[in-house]
Amino acid sequence: MEIYNSTVPTRMVTADTEPVSVESRRTWFREHDPGRYPIWVAEDGGEIAGWLSLSPFYDGRPAYHATAEVGVYVSENHRRKGLGRWLVGETIRRGPELGLKTLTAGAFAHNGPSLRLFESFGFEHWAHFPKVAELDGIERDLVVLGLRLDGPQPPVSR
């Protein structure tokens, strides 16, 4: 939660406007089945430096069973070291083992680093929702990106 909550004041990464508590996320954490919708952690120097979660797409309705939403967070002092790239690359590589065919990700349109990260793996802009979020009185756009896992993938490096 420390890594996640550190992104709240930036108004770049999450639509949460206040930090969230561990208690409020317990159910969310328990719903992440390691064999289907895992949470993976990246370490740097023995320290938890980032994490990625896969979540059911669109409330887990059965027809979307082969699609998952990606959320990736890296602590500020570990950014630009390739950890986010490694996490997304591992997700693409291991997604088919989890029964996934499609990955989606949402990012604010003003979050250039996240957009570039996903685009570097071939994620395409599948939707643009103008002014759907309001952060500190500023309306922000949401971009939904998507990637089919059955096509050619760029090489993964860290």
Q: What is the pLDDT, as a whole number, of residue 60?
A: 76
Domains of the chain: 2-148 (3.40.630.30)
User: What are the tens digits of pLDDT across the range 73-104?
Assistant: 999 888 888 899 999 999 999 999 999 999 99
- Indicate the pairing of strand 102-108 with strand 67-74: parallel
Residue type, 9: P
Q: What is the pLDDT, as a whole number, of residue 96?
A: 97
Phi, psi at 96, each rounded to 5°: -60, -35
The dihedral sign for the CA sequence 21, 22, 23, 28: positive
Size (the chain), residues? 158
Statement: residue 24 has pLDDT above 80: yes
Statement: residue 152 has pLDDT above 70: no
Q: What is the pLDDT, as a whole number, of residue 1?
A: 81
Distance CA 68, CA 21 (A): 24
Distance CA 94, CA 71 (A): 15
pTM of the predicted protein model:
0.88
